[in-house]
């Protein structure tokens, strides 16, 4: 045996100090070894306890591995819950569809759900009500949908058992998949939440959709951010999308590739919509137009980004009503999925469309419009576009959506912001809500 494998042997001590092998020294050494063993055992125990406590806290209702807290636990199932799901899914018009809307308590979700319900489709919502932004805004949207007869199931798209249960109760003809971790800049703070919702969550949904019978047709939210560093404008669906500038964009691009796979293998009919900076009443407080409004009213400084050499930063801001029309047209023109029992029976539809406004507006002009509408001067703080995933410019070419969906935006930024500001002032009028 090689010498080094003798654990009990004293190692060679090339250093200055060599201990005498007296029995006193031996006792001292064995006492200190016992001490070390006790210390290491305690440390190991502590570590095990820590891991155990963390795994328990992850299992607690109201917490998930993305670091987001939920305002309530996910309790689903039971006869009254099933009754609510079934009743919400009831179709109110001839040839109406039955749609599962994920992210129904979100900004686009509430508008799309109520538009579908209004025209007589059966709608069931699904949302995890996480606290990425003020959950009370999501609850207010939920209350509005409830009044319209749309029930929002509380749960996560990663919960396949819940998704299967929903399809067991209702044979959804369509899924409008809007649940996602949104926001370009937040991806640097909490990257795993993007992977959890936009990749794992999407796969979980597609896994269920591919295996149910009949398979639904799926329309889902991609993003203008997939164009990333593409500098050819306006952005066309034919342009390259392999240079994402943020992890958010990368997960949306991944979604498009995942959609291709499920279409190819399982015959799922899939339509991805590249939304361009959607704004409007009931919007998202993490978006610039929303928190600019709040901060102008508070007299706080407004950070306005500009490119290198004072280059303009601009967005193709698109009003929510135009986006909703695009969503409904996509659902209406969706062909049926072709698979059954998890097996593809023939080629299925696979589409991607830009839904933009075709008229980019510099961020400085957005602030000027808000100043006029709010009748308050903004405290502008011009700063160079930080390296945070933002791109300098977006501009949609919508000719494909126009040709195939009849999509044609009708709301300019001035008109759309007027509607937003009037909603904002009414919603936050009580002064109790902060708009954060």
Residue 428 annotated to the active site: no
How many whole angstroms separate alpha carbon 174 and alpha carbon 168? Answer: 14
Which of these is catalytic: 248, 262, 279, 353? 248
How many whole angstroms separate alpha carbon 295 and alpha carbon 40? Answer: 53
CA dihedral of residues 50, 55, 59, 61 (deg, nearest 10): 30
Q: How far is the CB of 196 from ligand UGB (least distance, A)?
A: 16
Q: Which residues lie across from 217 on neighbouring strands?
A: 174
Nearest to 103 by CA among 234, 228, 198: 198
Q: Which is nearer to ligand UGB, 266 or 276 (CB)?
A: 276
Q: Which is nearer to ligand UGB, 106 or 125 (CB)?
A: 106
Any idea what DSSP says for residue 393?
B
Q: Which is nearer to ligand UGB, 288 or 370 (CB)?
A: 288
Q: How far is the CB of 204 from ligand UGB (least distance, A)?
A: 21
Whether 410 and 330 have beta carbons less than 8 Å apart is answered as: no
Q: How far is the CB of 289 from ligand UGB (least distance, A)?
A: 6
First to last CA, the chain: 69
How many whole angstroms separate alpha carbon 348 and alpha carbon 262? Answer: 10
Q: Which is nearer to ligand UGB, 173 or 397 (CB)?
A: 397
Whether 237 and 272 have beta carbons less than 8 Å apart is answered as: no
- Collapsing DSSP to helix, strand or coil, 358 comes out as coil
Burial of 353 (0-12, 13-18, 19+ CB in 10 A): buried
Any idea what DSSP says for residue 381?
E
Whether 393 and 346 have beta carbons less than 8 Å apart is answered as: no
Nearest to 208 by CA among 160, 162, 170: 160
Q: How far is the CB of 210 from ligand UGB (least distance, A)?
A: 26
What phi and psi values does residue 378 have, to the nearest 5 degrees? -85, 150
Q: Which is nearer to ligand UGB, 145 or 304 (CB)?
A: 304
Whether 429 and 278 have beta carbons less than 8 Å apart is answered as: no
Nearest to 408 by CA among 350, 329, 331, 306: 329
β 318-319/278-279 pair status? parallel
Q: How far is the CB of 325 from ligand UGB (least distance, A)?
A: 17
How many whole angstroms separate alpha carbon 313 and alpha carbon 131? Answer: 29
| CA distance readout (Å), 250 to 222, 238, 254 | 11, 18, 6
User: What does the binding site for ligand UGB look like in residue numbers (CB under 6 A)?
Assistant: 182-184, 223-225, 275-277, 287-289, 303-305, 313, 315, 363, 390
Q: Which is nearer to ligand UGB, 163 or 413 (CB)?
A: 413
Q: How far is the CB of 285 from ligand UGB (least distance, A)?
A: 10
Q: Which is nearer to ligand UGB, 128 or 225 (CB)?
A: 225
Q: How far is the CB of 275 from ligand UGB (least distance, A)?
A: 5
Q: Which residue is nearest to ligand UGB (CB)?
A: 223
Q: How far is the CB of 423 from ligand UGB (least distance, A)?
A: 17
Q: Which is nearer to ligand UGB, 323 or 348 (CB)?
A: 323
Any idea what DSSP says for residue 394?
-
How many whole angstroms separate alpha carbon 295 and alpha carbon 314? Answer: 20
Q: Which is nearer to ligand UGB, 142 or 318 (CB)?
A: 318
Q: Tell me how many helices (H) and strands (E) the chain has.
A: 13, 13
Q: How far is the CB of 89 from ligand UGB (least distance, A)?
A: 28
How many whole angstroms separate alpha carbon 316 and alpha carbon 397? Answer: 10
Would you please indicate which residues are annotated as catalytic (active-site) residues?
A: 248
């Amino acid at each position: 045996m090689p010498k080094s494998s003798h654990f009990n042997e004293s190692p060679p001590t090339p250093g200055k100090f060599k201990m005498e092998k007296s029995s006193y020294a031996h006792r001292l050494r064995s006492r200190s070894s016992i001490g070390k063993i006790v210390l290491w055992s305690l440390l190991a125990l502590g570590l095990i306890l820590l891991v155990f406590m963390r795994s328990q806290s992850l299992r607690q209702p109201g917490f998930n591995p993305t670091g987001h807290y939920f305002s309530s636990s996910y309790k689903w199932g039971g006869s009254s819950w099933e009754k609510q799901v079934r009743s919400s899914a009831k179709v109110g018009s001839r040839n109406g569809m039955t749609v599962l809307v994920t992210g129904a308590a979100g900004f686009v979700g509430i508008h799309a759900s109520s538009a579908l319900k209004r025209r007589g489709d059966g709608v069931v919502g699904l949302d995890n009500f996480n606290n990425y932004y003020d959950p009370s805004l999501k609850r207010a949207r939920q209350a509005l949908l409830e009044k319209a007869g749309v029930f929002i199931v509380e749960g996560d798209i990663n919960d396949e058992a819940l998704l299967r249960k929903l399809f067991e109760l209702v044979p959804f003809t369509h899924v409008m998949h809007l649940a996602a971790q949104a926001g370009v800049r937040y991806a640097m703070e909490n990257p795993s939440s993007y992977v959890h919702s936009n990749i794992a969550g999407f796969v979980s949904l597609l896994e269920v959709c591919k295996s149910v019978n009949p398979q639904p047709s799926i329309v889902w939210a991609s993003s203008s951010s997939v164009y990333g560093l593409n500098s050819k404008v306006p952005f066309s669906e034919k342009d390259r999308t392999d240079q994402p500038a943020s992890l958010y964009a990368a997960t949306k691009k991944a979604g498009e590739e995942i959609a291709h796979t499920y279409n190819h293998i399982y015959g799922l009919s899939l339509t991805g919509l590249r939304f361009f900076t959607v704004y409007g009443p009931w919007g998202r407080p993490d978006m610039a137009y929303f928190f600019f409004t709040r901060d102008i009213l508070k007299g706080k400084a407004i950070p306005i980004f500009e490119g290198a050499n004072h280059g303009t930063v601009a967005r193709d801001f698109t009003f929510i009503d135009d986006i909703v029309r695009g969503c409904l047209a996509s659902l209406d023109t969706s062909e049926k999925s072709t698979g059954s029992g998890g097996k593809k029976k023939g080629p299925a539809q696979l589409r991607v469309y830009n839904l933009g406004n075709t008229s980019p507006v510099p961020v400085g002009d957005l602030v000027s419009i808000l100043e006029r509408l709010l009748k308050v001067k903004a405290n502008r703080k011009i700063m160079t576009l930080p390296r945070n995933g933002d791109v300098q410019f977006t501009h949609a070419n919508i000719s494909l959506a126009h040709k195939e969906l009849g999509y044609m935006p009708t709301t300019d930024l001035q008109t759309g912001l007027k509607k937003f500001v009037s909603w904002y002032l009414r919603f936050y009028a009580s002064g109790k809500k902060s708009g954060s």
